[in-house]
Homo-oligomer: A and B are copies of this chain.
Amino acid sequence: MSAAPIVPPTRVLAVASHEGKKRSSRGNHTGYRHWTGTKATAQEISDLYRGLKDNYINDFDMMLSGYIPGAEGVLAVGEIAKELKAANEQQPGHFFWVLDPVMGDNGNLYVAADVVPAYKSLLAYADLIIPNQFEAELLSGVKITDMKSLAAAIHAFHKNHRVPHVIITSVNISSPDIPAGHLCVVGSTMTSTGQARLFKTVFPSIDCYFCGTGDMFGALVTVRMREAAAAAASVMGCASWVSGDAVAAVDLPLARATEKVLASMHEVLTHTKDAMQGVVDRTLAAMTQDERQGDKQKMLAGKKAAELQLVRNLDCLRLPQKRIEVVPF
């Protein structure tokens, strides 16, 4: 009657935090001017995990960590990852940490400066990291200006930090390989000797502001990575799901996962864009005459329309029809 599940049942611990204060900087992560709520402190993160552990419900197969605004919180999440890795030491491939080192974009940092060294200290425990170009520069120490330095940054993650899987989720450089109006995503799974196996995909960008794309990428790549690893013979029994050296870059589980994630994202972003004007119109229609004239109100209606329409596009997540293919780097 309905589609098969995309992955075998998985227990994923997802950790992210939001700040409680209104922030005036350019880089407000939520995309809204006003926001409220409470920030999970490092202590609260640790306490919540302890609560799970005390009840023996910490048998996670995977962990996905996202936005954490302070170094203490980042380190608290790192302690959880270390503990779960240690608990599964005797069973290679039984725990996998997807680390999204959310720090900034396009040259702007939107977390405290001490978050950068905190993430650096944890790279050795991550199985897959998914920085954007700016975050990759911050963590690798390599300034990315062309395809060569992009490859060097990924090499640095493999060589210096032993990060097995890397995806640079948005590459913004001038290169003959990337036509105007196109985006590039690059990934690699290291070999047993720490060499990169680079693949890339270049696709037309959707010229529009969206809110939530980073979190969507992280969530989807977590399940798709496990699905792709499960589909590859014997990979799930290997530490960090690293394929044997004979497997070429474009045949990696990471490559399959990247393709599926980008296909889903393309579909959801397209549907969200198509629905945007309707959302703006309905939001403005619900305002009073006075409110409707305000620039702030118009901006807020636009922000609301930029929220990814996930729930009404579940089929795009489960069974994307769009075909996206990675190619050798």
A interface residues, Cβ below 8 angstroms from B: 1-3, 5, 9, 32-38, 44, 47-48, 50-51, 54-57, 59, 282-283, 286-287, 297, 300-301, 303-304, 307, 311-312, 314-315, 318-319
Q: Does A34 contact B51, Cβ atoms closer than 8 Å?
A: yes
Q: Does B1 contact A56, Cβ atoms closer than 8 Å?
A: no
Q: Tell me whether A36 and B47 are in contact in the complex, defined as CB-CB below 8 angstroms, given that A283-B56, A286-B59, A311-B9 are known contacts.
A: yes
In the assembled complex, the CB of A59 is this many whole angstroms from the nearest CB of chain B, namely 6
Q: Does A38 contact B38, Cβ atoms closer than 8 Å?
A: yes
Q: Does A55 contact B319, Cβ atoms closer than 8 Å?
A: no
Q: In the complex the two chains form, what is the Cα distance from A128 to B34 in whole Å?
A: 32
Residue among A55, A283, A318 with the most chain B CB within 10 A? A55
Q: Does A35 contact B47, Cβ atoms closer than 8 Å?
A: no
Q: Does A2 contact B48, Cβ atoms closer than 8 Å?
A: no
Indicate which residue in B51, B286, B297, B307 contacts A36 across the interface (CB closer than 8 Å): B51
Return the chain B residue nearest A283 by Cβ: B56
Q: Does A304 contact B55, Cβ atoms closer than 8 Å?
A: yes
Which chain B residues lie closer than 8 Å to A33 at the CB level?
A: 55
Number of copies: 2
Q: Does A2 contact B300, Cβ atoms closer than 8 Å?
A: no
Q: Does B47 contact A37, Cβ atoms closer than 8 Å?
A: yes
Q: Does B2 contact A318, Cβ atoms closer than 8 Å?
A: yes
Q: Does A286 contact B56, Cβ atoms closer than 8 Å?
A: yes
Q: Does B2 contact A283, Cβ atoms closer than 8 Å?
A: no
Q: Does B5 contact A3, Cβ atoms closer than 8 Å?
A: no
Q: Does B1 contact A57, Cβ atoms closer than 8 Å?
A: no
Q: In the complex the two chains form, what is the Cα distance from A297 to B54 in whole Å?
A: 9
Return the chain B residue nearest A312 by Cβ: B9
Q: In the complex the two chains form, what is the Cα distance from A297 to B57 in whole Å?
A: 12
Q: Does B51 contact A37, Cβ atoms closer than 8 Å?
A: yes
Q: List 29 A-B contacts (CB under 8 A).
A: A1-B315, A2-B2, A2-B3, A2-B319, A5-B312, A5-B314, A9-B312, A32-B55, A33-B55, A34-B54, A34-B55, A36-B48, A36-B51, A37-B44, A37-B47, A37-B48, A37-B51, A38-B44, A55-B300, A55-B303, A55-B304, A56-B286, A56-B287, A56-B297, A56-B304, A57-B304, A57-B307, A59-B282, A59-B283
Which chain B residues lie closer than 8 Å to A36 at the CB level?
A: 47-48, 50-51
Q: In the complex the two chains form, what is the Cα distance from A282 to B9 in whole Å?
A: 15
Q: In the complex the two chains form, what is the Cα distance from A301 to B54 in whole Å?
A: 11
Which chain B residues lie closer than 8 Å to A283 at the CB level?
A: 56, 59
Q: In the complex the two chains form, what is the Cα distance from A315 to B38 in whole Å?
A: 35
